[in-house]
Amino acid sequence: MLLSYDSTRDSIWLFFRPWIWITRLIQITFSLLTLAVKMLINGSSKEEAVHKELGRSLLNTLTYLGPCFIKIGQALSTRPDLVRRDWLEELTNLQDNLPPFPTKEALEILQLELGAPADQLFEEFPEKAIASASLGQVYKARLQGNYWVAVKIQRPNLKFILRRDLVLIKFLGMISSPVLPLNLGFGLGEIIDEFGKSLFQEIDYKQEADNAEKFAELYSNNPSITVPKVERLLSSNRIITTSWIEGVKLREREELEDKGLDPSSLIRTGVISGIQQLLEFGYFHADPHPGNMFALEGKTEGMGHLAYVDFGMMDSISDLDRVTLTGAIVHLINKDFNLLAKDFQKLGFLNQSENLKPLEPVLEEVLGGSLGKEVKDFNFKAITDRFSELMFNYPFRVPARFALIIRAVVSQEGLALRLDPKFKIIDVAYPYVAKRLLTGDTKEMLSILLDVIFDENGGLRIDRLEGLLEVLIKDENNPNSNLFPLAGAGLRLILGTNGKLLRKNLLMTLIKEDHIDLTEIKSLLSLIRKNFRPTKLAKGAMKNVIQVGK
């Protein structure tokens, strides 16, 4: 069986096996229609017991239909703003509390893959799995001494099941798309294909081992993030063995608090690490649901300690897309809808030949209102809801390559909302982006900074610069926030090689119509004095010394 997904090849393969697809199609259609009828009849009920039963029906239907449908349910389980809380509680069971397959079969797969029985490879191997998920189940085994490991063994016959169901899901999706309450346009098939490719990547455990080691390298100097160590000699295409992580799953705020953990610091770590993966590393965990993230004891500079597990669903983003996304966030917050339209064009949401001028007021009307009066009022879910309105009437579409990116961001925000219903993702994300812009840590960031603080005529936008600084100063969620490192990085930028263009632009602001105008420079100096007073910098320096001492 091929370890890859190909929609055309797999459709042809299944078409010539009607004894397989006819019965399965009837099974899927009947199950989903039965569930839909139940929800239509009882969905408006105000009785808690009725919705509890509907949640169980949703869980049982997805579980019964198998891995592909369970994966869809897992995505829904991270969205408390889309799914009722009583349904959500049931859907969380899809993360790692599914019916296990017999340990006897698991041990047969282990011996076939690793070339020896479990009792020869491990000092201790349990009779029951400790967790059972959509694609495999995990055993807590012991190697030498007191070294415990997680052994994940893939479900039997999984490639066949995925191949069959992905073809049928695409078929059902395409014929039902005209009546679905969505407007994904012709991109729906591409999004299903992207889903299929990611699933087949996820069941290649050798690739997952590579992913885990690459992810660990990215966070090797970050004490807030833990990644389990891969045991290569006990891993294969269908088995992966890693060091055991002892932590608390990010499910309920009360559970974390009972264990003496701070949900706010954990949210901050999760969101910042997610943004860092997307906008800085260009390599991200595309499945950050509560079953794949564990809270650990301790804090570092106000950041809670998190452990990531399960690296089957990872993805990369190109340097161009990464930089453009960063710029789009800044342009949206600054309400630069001309530049935002260009960002959408670069990212493929708009055709390259599209006339952007008529779309600028549309973007302002639809997306501008999502920001509210303050930056912190921004909500990614609100943006996606409003953006869907654009797709009905204007030439926008979602590029297939963004399917996993959107899933990762939406899941991350959903996880945070689950722990704190008042959470605003931009309240954490924008200070991170603002700091990167103001330090100009890459040429790309410097280019975006110049777009932000200088207008088309080369004039200095003091209000924009002041806005970036205010975001950092008012970053109340970060108790260790201070401007001392920022002042040092900013000084290095202005005086360094990368700051050549910045120095040139600042010089040009002095020259207005053949005479020297000091107005903007005076405003800039006033802003610097206000935010970088010697006493404030001294306090920041002392704070840094204390942290280093610790």
**Rounded distance, CA 6 to CA 344, Å?**
29
**Rounded distance, CA 352 to CA 372, Å?**
30
Which of the following is catalytic: 96, 165, 193, 287?
287
**Rounded distance, CA 429 to CA 542, Å?**
26
**Rounded distance, CA 544 to CA 384, Å?**
39
Determine whether 319 is an active site residue: no
C-alpha to C-alpha distances, 24 to 13, 18, 21, 166, 167, nearest whole angstrom:
15, 10, 5, 12, 11
Residues 6 or more apart whose CB falls under 8 angstroms from that of 81 comprise 381, 414, 417
Phi–psi pair at 154, nearest 5 degrees: -70, 145
C-alpha to C-alpha distances, 204 to 154, 270, 323, 431, nearest whole angstrom:
9, 26, 30, 37
Cβ atoms of 276 and 428 closer than 8 Å: no
Q: Which token pair is 173?
A: 């999706």
Contacts of 44-53 with CB under 8 Å at 24 or more apart are 48/86, 51/84, 51/86, 51/87, 52/86, 52/90
Cβ atoms of 383 and 370 closer than 8 Å: yes
Amino acid present at 62:
L
**Rounded distance, CA 223 to CA 220, Å?**
8
Q: Which token pair is 318?
A: 């190109």
CA distance from start to end of the chain: 55
Cβ atoms of 438 and 486 closer than 8 Å: yes
- The three-state secondary structure class of 218 is helix
Amino acid present at 27:
Q
Going by C-alpha positions, the residue among 427, 414, 314, 420 that lies closest to residue 378 is 427
Question: Would you name the residues annotated as active-site residues?
Answer: 287
